[in-house]
Amino acid sequence: MDEYDVAMLLMQAEDADLGVVFRDSMRGMARRTVLRVFEAETQALCGALYRPDEGTPCYRAGSAPGTVLHEGRKNEVRRPRIRRLREDGRSEEVRH
């Protein structure tokens, strides 16, 4: 939902529903922002999706369940997993 859609919903909502519509739209925007930050961090460490950086020891390793705190409540998300090759040849999960 983009800003235009939110504005249209707010204009069409009854006065009693304005707060609910606004909070729902803000919750969605916050979720999308968190997912964009996850992707930006992953790209910075590993390179673009399907085009990994040659010189980096980090690589994408799927996803895992996670939670994000929003308005005092935990919301479930899928977070990207990143692993790093160590000098001894083993790998370890990157906590970011």
CB-based contacts of 10-14 (< 8 A; 24+ apart in sequence): none
Range of the domain at 89: 3-93
Q: What is the pLDDT of residue 6?
A: 61
83 vs 42, 56, 66, 89, 96, CA distance in Å? 10, 11, 16, 12, 11
The total number of structural domains that make up the chain:
1
Reply yes or no on whether the pLDDT at 36 is more than 90.
Answer: yes
Percentage of the chain modeled with pLDDT above 70 = 84
Alpha-carbon distance 10 to 24, whole Å? Answer: 11
